[in-house]
Structure 1
Amino acid sequence: MDITIQTCFLPHDDPDAALAFYRDTLGFEVRNDVGHGGMRWITVGPPEQPGTSIVLYPPAADPGITEEEQRVIAEMMAKGCYAGVNLATADLDAAFERLQAGDADVVQEPTDQPYGVRDCAFRDPAGNLIRIVELR
């Protein structure tokens, strides 16, 4: 099989804050920014990986969820336990410094994990957990 990861989805509750974090702090390029009905879907990704993207979407856009489910999602996002993504870099310390300088919400400084990786963690403006692992 020849299967790759094309897109993953992370919710946002403030499209401008999400855009600033992923574009300005992480350095991702904006591939799409679509508005409809007062909501925005923003697609971003690393410039050197044009085939892999993150879609930042408003969770209220799903017509299949109830108001109660929307409330639960908003609560989970606020706690930082709804969604996340793992990224990778060759220079974890430089990435950490850039994110910290960009006022990202630090969850964990660069750490050698007992399971064999060195990583750090941040939260994006919506509370999504962003882990960055160092490539070895």
Structure 2
Amino acid sequence: MNKTLNPVLIFAAVITVSSSITYPVYANTAEQCPRIAGAYQRPGDNLIIYWNQNGCNISADAPSGGFDHLITGQWTEGHFDYRVSRRNIRNGCTTQMYGRLYKLDNSRLMSEVYGSDGRCDLPANFTETSVWIRR
């Protein structure tokens, strides 16, 4: 015995199943991203960075040795993507570095620089990973 399925019923079943699936939305709101604002210190050289946060946008100004670092970033699915404008105080040369910032727990962050624009004294494939402890 052959039964023909009613296409309207099949379509309705797909809609019903599809409408019950919840997809995560990573909106640019403070409720969707971790709060990281505050002072953090990098063991080893004891550099201190003060992270500011406005919703899911972050920023910091980190003078280090002969360089100024201006950092800006935004939350993106599981981490903050950021850009560093690194200026050599002595000669004014500015380069851009690109990285990700992860909240490991309530007291630690991990920064991961994965490249630069290749200007000044940094190669384009420059990398650096650091762990930062909340002060």
TM-score scaled by length of structure 2 = 0.25
Structure in which a larger fraction of residues adopt helix: 1
Higher relative contact order (CA 8 A, sep 6+): 1
Structure in which a larger fraction of residues adopt strand: 2
Please say which structure displays the higher CA radius of gyration. Answer: 2
